[in-house]
Each structure stands twice: as structure tokens, then as C-alpha cells.
Amino acid sequence: MGTSLHSVVATLGRNLDPNDSIEFLAVVHTVFFSLIVVLAVRFGSPRTWPLRVVAATAGFGVAASLVWLWIDHNVEGNVLLAVSYNHGVTVGDMLALPMLVVSALVVAVRVCPAPARSIRDEHRVP
């Protein structure tokens, strides 16, 4: 019993097999993007989604991305951008981008005002 709780928590998820890491990412991406599709079918455009749904969706995407950045050590690959001597952005880190980008787009579409319609569009005959 030489391991402390702190050391167990510090390594939690960081020693996964690379296949387990990729399976986790595939499951999280599937759940996240299925959620986006279900919400789009239910509410239409993110512009019409309730604010709490937008916040929960964006929170899920950001949280899942952060979890991925924590456990992706076995599949990191090459360093694309060195941040410091021993830290950088890797190929494995880029796998979290789709969820972050979609989360940001959902929030942006919901928060930004709708484009103004021109007079010509209002008088158009269907």
C-alpha cells in the first residue's frame, strides 16, 4: 500500500492501452455528434434551441475534449507546435478539435443575432 490516493488520481486514465484510448474517443464522438443530430431534429437550427440545451451541449463537448486531452498520452504522435521545452500540441490533441469546433459553432449560432432580412425577401412570392 505504498501508493497514495493523490498518485492514483494523478495517473487515472493516463495509462490506458492505445486501443482503449481510441475506442473511448470513438464512443465519445459518436455520443456527442448523435446528440447534435437528435437536437437538430427536435429543435431545428441551434438558433432556436433553448439556452440551457446549448449550454449543456457545449459543456459536454468541452468536458469530453478535456478528458481526451488528459488520457491521449499513448496516442499523441508528433509534436505540431511546441509550447515550451516539454509541452506542446500533438497530433493526438487534434482529435479533440471536432467537438470543440462544433461546440463553439452551436454557441455562436445561438448567441449571434439572425441576419436582417431585406425588403426584397419579404415581398418575394413563394
Q: How far is CA 79 from CA 20, 69, 72, 75, 100, in A?
A: 22, 14, 13, 12, 20
Residue 4 lies in a domain: no
84: containing domain: 16-113
Residue 8 — very low, low, confident or very high, per pLDDT cuts 50/70/90?
A: very low
Residue 1 lies in a domain: no
Q: How do residues 17-70 score in pLDDT, each as one tens digit?
A: 778 888 888 999 999 999 999 999 999 999 999 999 999 999 999 999 988 888
Residue 45 lies in a domain: yes
Residue 7 lies in a domain: no
Residue 124 lies in a domain: no
Structural domain count, the chain: 1
CA distance 87 to 13: 19
Is-contact 89 81, C-beta < 8 A? yes
